[in-house]
Structure 1
């Protein structure tokens, strides 16, 4: 449904009916202008998200995960951020061509964003109830009593006890896990078609992490929203994602169905990330592996493989040309790498 028509379309109107991508990003490029020059933070990122799908975006800190999503929704301050290329479409509409009013209606109304740190994302001088009611009144035009009733329902939906009474509390009166639940409630307030969750379980203990993950699974099932889950925790992605996009140096280096990525990783960086996960096999404890070296400082657009200086399989071509995402393995699996794993060399082309 076009945004210009007024009322936002809900996830239920598209989920299971139209399999066309709800969100498409093509060739996204973003730089940050600094005193030392332009930092190329996002370098030609392309992906799509279908209704009801959960896309996991993984990579080290600084790989461009959060910046990519915030750039796509024009949430980065300009200056210093500057979009230099690419196109973003939401339900077939060019997001970059939208008016500021349409963009405000898109963000919060059609696309919800769960930010990484709820304590800094929630306004400390307003009650939680006010902050949940704000998008309801702004986007859905609910009256104050209606918005308050809906806000209490949202708090109950995300598992906060005594929701009506907690509406009058301030963010500092909630625990870390509860604040994260409030952020999820705000993101889901208008039943958006897409929810972007930026490391929603970071800094939470494992018990609360498990509760948040189960909550998101349940809400996804009930509301049918498509979700982009940004994280560095591959264990979380293994249990909730449909597809995985692995990012390094501001670009996607491998993408595919979650089982394919875990069972048949093709990029050395993906393999290195999987090797850093703890293994419980064997009688003796094993030392955790690490990836040697540091991520690159992207003061120039990459002209060769950015992972080559840290890659144990790099050869001359890796230092001379930048690989592009190409199909490999099972359907939907793509990798940007010149190296071919030994076990894949004997594959029969489909």
Structure 2
């Protein structure tokens, strides 16, 4: 029975390691966060910051070289890591939907779009072939594909990039999931199609009351759709908080640097875009010092020897940093 007082998703101390010939890679390092039903959380950070691996770890959608070595994942109070293979497959297919960055690598090119939608409906919803076909057409219509009954018999290559992404969303929504994980779903699309997909997800969220995790490197997208933002660096959360508060008063030097890289739209001649100097650290070992310290203009000696823990800065906003931007001094923690 579901614990109605529990968050939709509750993650504590999650750790994931990749075992490679060159040694272990600590891709996810003690990640903790919660997601409420109907909430949209944006997860941002540079490529390699651990965003996608973290979210794939939630449902154990990892390659064989990866291993979850610690932590707890609860979905509606149920222990995901303790589930059997059959229970996990049912959870992924029924309660959790996934939309990945490139629909051409996620859609099977030799099966029609209709078959790929109806297969999920028949397996997880127990529908007949006729019932699944009707529902599949409804889903294509829901995501804005015209003449959906006819297009069920089309193959992925017969759709544009934006339409293929809509098909992926339709498949993800087929079983009315309680959680949707969208991994950079608009990155490969042009700006106009991006705006259409974002508006579609915003509309579907209102209609279905889904919890959504939106993974992206684009802070501009997050500002327009998210309730809360999680900022990741080197496989760990360095800051998280309500979207307006985080944009108004970023606490971590990395978050501030990300915001400074956004282009400014003014009537004057544009200045050169800001960049973040240096490179992300190697993750051959679990961080024991602040991983951003070598790139940080505000680093203290303590940053080089001790990895900061997340501290509450008010309003549901927390940060993992020894530097206090309000005083310019070390935090009193």
The TM-score with structure 1 as length reference comes to 0.92
- The counterpart of 2:318, out of the listed 328, 334, 342, is 334
1:54 corresponding residue in structure 2: 40
Aligned mate of 2:208, from 223, 226, 229: 223
Task: Give the whole-Å Cα distance in 1 for the aligned partners of 2:323 and 2:118.
Answer: 52
- Taking the TM superposition and a 5 Å limit, the aligned residue runs for 1:225-304 are 225-304=210-289
8 Å CA contact retained: 1:19, 1:50: no
Displacement after TM superposition at 1:108 (Å): 2.0
TM-score by length of structure 2 reads 0.97
1:314 partnered with 2:299? yes
The equivalent of 1:188 in structure 2 is 173
Is 2:21 the counterpart of 1:39? Answer: no
Q: Does the 8 Å CA contact 1:33/1:39 hold for their aligned counterparts?
A: yes
- Counterpart position of 2:86: 101
Measure, in 1, the Cα distance between the counterparts of 2:155 and 2:289.
50
SS of residue matched to 1:45: strand
Whole-angstrom CA distance in 2 between matches of 1:304 and 1:282:
43
Distance in 1 separating the partners of 2:158 and 2:246 = 41
RMSD, aligned CA = 1.7
Matches of 1:218 and 1:19 in 2, distance apart? 26
Deviation at 1:135, TM superposition (A): 1.2
Q: Which runs of 4+ in 1 moved over 6 A?
A: none
Q: Is the 2:93–2:175 contact (alpha carbons within 8 Å) kept by the matching residues of 1?
A: yes
Contact 2:44 2:215 in 1 (8 A): yes
Quote the residue 2:125 is aligned against: 140
Contact kept in structure 2, 1:58 and 1:246, CA below 8 Å = yes
Aligned residues between the structures: 332
Q: Equivalents in 2 of 1:101, 1:311: separation in Å?
A: 46
SS where residue 26 of structure 1 aligns?
Answer: strand
Q: Which residue of 2 aligns with 1:8?
A: none
Deviations along 1:275-325, whole A, 9 cap, x unmatched?
A: 000011351211111101111110001000000011111120110100011
CA distance in 2 between partners of 1:216 and 1:73 (Å): 21
8 Å Cα contact 1:156-1:163 kept in structure 2: yes
Once the two structures are TM-superposed, the CA of residue 19 in structure 1 deviates from its matched residue by 6.0
1:134 shift after superposition: 1.3
Structure 2 CA distance, aligned partners of 1:248 and 1:73? Answer: 21
- How far does residue 343 in structure 1 lie from its aligned partner after superposition? 5.3
**Which residue does 1:211 correspond to in 2?**
196
Structure 2: how far apart are the matches of 1:68 and 1:158? 27
CA distance in 1, matches of 2:5, 2:274: 40
Residue equivalent to 2:52: 66
Structure 1 stretches lacking a partner, 5+ long = 3-13
Is the CA contact (8 Å cut-off) linking 1:19 and 1:51 kept in structure 2? no
Secondary structure, counterpart of 1:135 in structure 2: helix
Extract unaligned runs of 5+ from structure 2.
Answer: none
| Equivalent in the alignment of 2:13 | 27
Q: Hey, what's the Cα distance between the residues in 2 that align with 1:20 and 1:40? A: 29
Whole-Å separation in 2 of the counterparts to 1:284 and 1:148: 55
Contact residue 31 and residue 81 of structure 1 kept, 8 A? yes
